[in-house]
Amino acid sequence: MRPVAVIGVGLSPWGELWRSSLRDLFAQAALKAIKDSGAPRIDSLLVGCMSGGLFNSQEHVGALVADYTGLKGVPATRVESACASGGVAFRQGVLEVASGASDFVLVGGVEKMTDLSGDGATFALSTAADFDYEAYQGATFPALYALMARAHMDKYGTTREQLAMVAAKNHDNGLLNPNAQFKMKVSVQDVMNSVKVAEPLCLLDCSPITDGAAAVVLAPVELAAKLKKGPLAKVLGVGQAADAMALAQREDITRLEAAELAAQRAYKMAGKSPKDIDFAEVHDCFTIAEICAIEALGFCKPGQGGKFTEQGHTALKGSKPINTSGGLKSKGHPVGATGVAQIVELVEQLRGAAGERQLSKARVGLAQNMGGTCGSSVVSILGREGK
Amino acid sequence: MQPQRVWREIPQRYRLEAGQCRKCKKIFFPPRLKCPDCGGEAFAKLRLPTDGKLLTYTVVHTAPERFAKLAPYGLGIVELSNKVRLTVQIVDVEPEELKSGMPLRLEFRKIHDVGHAGVICYGYKAVPA
């Protein structure tokens, strides 16, 4: 397998963008990434998109976005794994370059969510759960994560305040990210006083509904080194796993087993362990998700995610900065784009181009993306090569 | 929801029919064709017990449209006396009285209906035992 580098990154604007369509959003991010990469051509395109069908009455998204990105003729493949669609597309792209099948691969992710009302979007998202046995009973996504939160609180003594601290911390980071959808200071009290969605989760525990796209260009390291001067963002490892779809069927509902497995595979491929990771973007679709994710990734012991957060380890200036971009919580969560946007943040940090939120130590970064209540997860590890 | 979609789940929703792996005896609800634990492919049909306890719960305030008039409602994961778990609404109890570990019983209830002439969707809900 050939070593692979990320040579270009791009984001569209993120937010409630009534003037932008699915195809426009994708093309904006993709054209930026292609320009940034300096790639002489694109051999293949992958696009993560959870539900063009429900959100925009538009399937066949691969061909559509290839057409509007000016990439007529390329093999264009849409990848779906609910909110992990983007991260899974990224892993597929890495494997495609590593295998030698393609040299320059564009991996994008897109979701145009505000074409539906809030209720319509809630319904579309609920199809990432077990529809016949969870959504049928009246379960929403916040409700399923609330079940995990309550179980975590009962089992480990995680507190309501610790959940809120995740949101407050990620909004602090988002304030420093010009691309974030919700650039606003949010206090622990604000989170706890916000309207109840599914107890114990309140509105400010939840990531928002977002229109947006993200894209990266991949190339084999040997070609990338000829194209680009300066340090390279090299893909060190990728891992992916699936778990029981319905939360009730998991052995331990406080654990994200698919994320644990994905992480083990990525660590093994990269030859790294949790202590080697300088910073990470994790899938904080709800505050409890970040707590469970940092445990699954081995940054702290099982059950200690709340305490680890409270002690400040995950803050921008902490020992293990988590979600320097603002995370899904503040940056926004266009579901199909999220996994790719996490890679964009890793690359910007590794390049030293993350502006006000730039970390002093950013040589190895990790991205964790998950679908549903972690029925699927993908973990990618990137490292900075050269000076 | 189209009638056939509701109709084909009747064995599970009306009668709580589960599958028990003949090899390792593990019980699955809903039934499966292959045991993820031991790889067995032969299953016996069995009906779940209705008594259990609340493992974890939430109170849903922001509900999907078809459940909006029920909100706020309790939703939880119930572990039945034979260890099978299912996601279920908890009714006939004030949401603030819900507690992890409380004993519950499954009952046959209406879940929701679809429009004016649509099918009425039935299934199981949990009530305090």
* Percent over 90 (pLDDT), chain B: 85
Q: List pLDDT tens digits, range A96-152.
A: 999 999 999 999 999 999 999 888 998 899 999 999 999 999 999 999 999 999 999
Inform me whether the pLDDT recorded for B118 exceeds 80.
no
- A206 shares contact with chain B (CB less than 8 Å): no
Catalytic residue positions of A, numbered: 83, 333
Structure tokens that stand for A32 in this block? 């930026």
Task: Inspect the interface and report whether the beta carbons of B123 and A137 lie closer than 8 Å.
Answer: yes
**pLDDT value of position A263:** 98
Task: Inspect the interface and report whether the beta carbons of A150 and B89 lie closer than 8 Å.
Answer: no
- A257 shares contact with chain B (CB less than 8 Å): no
Task: Inspect the interface and report whether the beta carbons of A196 and B64 lie closer than 8 Å.
Answer: no
**pLDDT value of position A228:** 79
Q: What mean pLDDT do residues A284-310 have? A: 98
- Rounded mean pLDDT of chain A? 97
Task: Inspect the interface and report whether the beta carbons of B60 and A198 lie closer than 8 Å.
Answer: yes
> Looking at the partner chain, which of A132, A136, A138 has a beta carbon nearest the beta carbon of B60?
A138
Evaluate the CA torsion angle A123, A128, A132, A137 in order and state its sign. Answer: negative
Would strands B17-21 and A376-385 be described as parallel, antiparallel, or unpaired? unpaired
> Looking at the partner chain, which of A132, A154, A196 has a beta carbon nearest the beta carbon of B9?
A132
Q: List pLDDT tens digits, range A5-23.
A: 999 999 999 999 999 999 9
- A57 shares contact with chain B (CB less than 8 Å): no
- A7 shares contact with chain B (CB less than 8 Å): no
Q: Compute the nearest-CA separation of A257 from chain B (Å).
A: 15
Task: Inspect the interface and report whether the beta carbons of B57 and A147 lie closer than 8 Å.
Answer: yes
**pLDDT value of position A2:** 96
- A132 shares contact with chain B (CB less than 8 Å): yes
Residue of A nearest to B124 (CA): A137
Task: Provide the residue type at A101 as one letter.
Answer: A
Confidence of residue B115 (pLDDT cuts 50, 70, 90): low
Q: What mean pLDDT do residues A156-161 have? A: 98
- ipTM over 0.85 threshold: yes
Chain A environment of B72 (Cβ under 8 Å): 196
Q: List pLDDT tens digits, range A194-218.
A: 999 999 999 999 999 999 999 999 9
Inform me whether the pLDDT recorded for B114 exceeds 90.
no
- A5 shares contact with chain B (CB less than 8 Å): no
Q: How large is the angle between the packed helices A335-351 and A85-98, nearest 10 degrees?
A: 60
E strand map for chain A: 4-11, 44-48, 76-79, 105-112, 196-198, 201-202, 211-220, 232-242, 279-281, 364-371, 376-385
Please measure the distance between the N-terminal and C-terminal CA atoms of chain B and give it in whole angstroms: 32
Structure tokens that stand for A2 in this block? 């050939």
- Rounded mean pLDDT of chain B? 94
Task: Inspect the interface and report whether the beta carbons of A122 and B60 lie closer than 8 Å.
Answer: no
Confidence of residue B4 (pLDDT cuts 50, 70, 90): confident
Q: What mean pLDDT do residues A302-328 have? A: 98
Inform me whether the pLDDT recorded for A84 exceeds 90.
yes
Secondary structure (3-state) at A186: coil
Weakest-pLDDT range from A229-243, A269-283, B108-122: B108-122
Task: Inspect the interface and report whether the beta carbons of B55 and A151 lie closer than 8 Å.
Answer: yes
**pLDDT value of position B5:** 85
**pLDDT value of position B113:** 80
* Percent over 90 (pLDDT), chain A: 96
> Looking at the partner chain, which of A139, A196, A198 has a beta carbon nearest the beta carbon of B87?
A139
* Percent over 70 (pLDDT), chain A: 100
Q: Compute the nearest-CA separation of A251 from chain B (Å).
A: 10
Which of these, B28, B24, B50, B42, lies nearest to B109 by C-alpha position? B50
Task: Inspect the interface and report whether the beta carbons of B89 and A137 lie closer than 8 Å.
Answer: yes
Say if CB A286 and CB A207 are below 8 A apart: yes
Weakest-pLDDT range from A189-203, B32-46, B96-110, B115-129: B115-129
> Looking at the partner chain, which of A123, A150, A246 has a beta carbon nearest the beta carbon of B100?
A150
